[in-house]
Amino acid sequence: MCSSDLLIASALPPGAELLYLSGADISSEIQTDKLQITRIPVYKAVPVQEISQDVQAAFKSQDIEAVLFMSVRTAENFGALAHQYELTDFLRETKAICLSENIRKAVDKFTWKAILTARRPDQLSLLAEIE
């Protein structure tokens, strides 16, 4: 049981029913035997198929200082698009900021100015890496 599972289980009485609204694709289920959990996917993430000309120009002029990666799938899709649009050489002056070590492994295929990983897998820790 991970820390977020413990937090959820401790916030509710044993046996409580929890409705878990999520994306269709998730990295793991909530694991606890203290609650009755019903998961309902309410959205599906669909990867983009292109990088806009404005974003390409920003990479090429080195105007993008950092890229935030919240999931392995996002990192892998970005990597494929960066390769397709021949942007990989322009990442050398850009920082990759990753939510987890698994995401870091996905972006480590390219040469970045730096690859930073959040101390904890939460949004506040990720944003703290920007400062």
Neighbours of 115 (CB within 10 A): 17
Q: What is the pLDDT of residues 41-82, one digit of tens each?
A: 999 989 999 999 999 999 999 999 999 999 999 999 999 999
What integer pLDDT is reported at residue 7 of this predicted model?
56
- Of the candidates 81, 80, 72, the one whose C-alpha atom is nearest the C-alpha of residue 117 is 72
pTM, 2 dp: 0.75
Neighbours of 71 (CB within 10 A): 19
| Residue 24 structure tokens | 């269709």
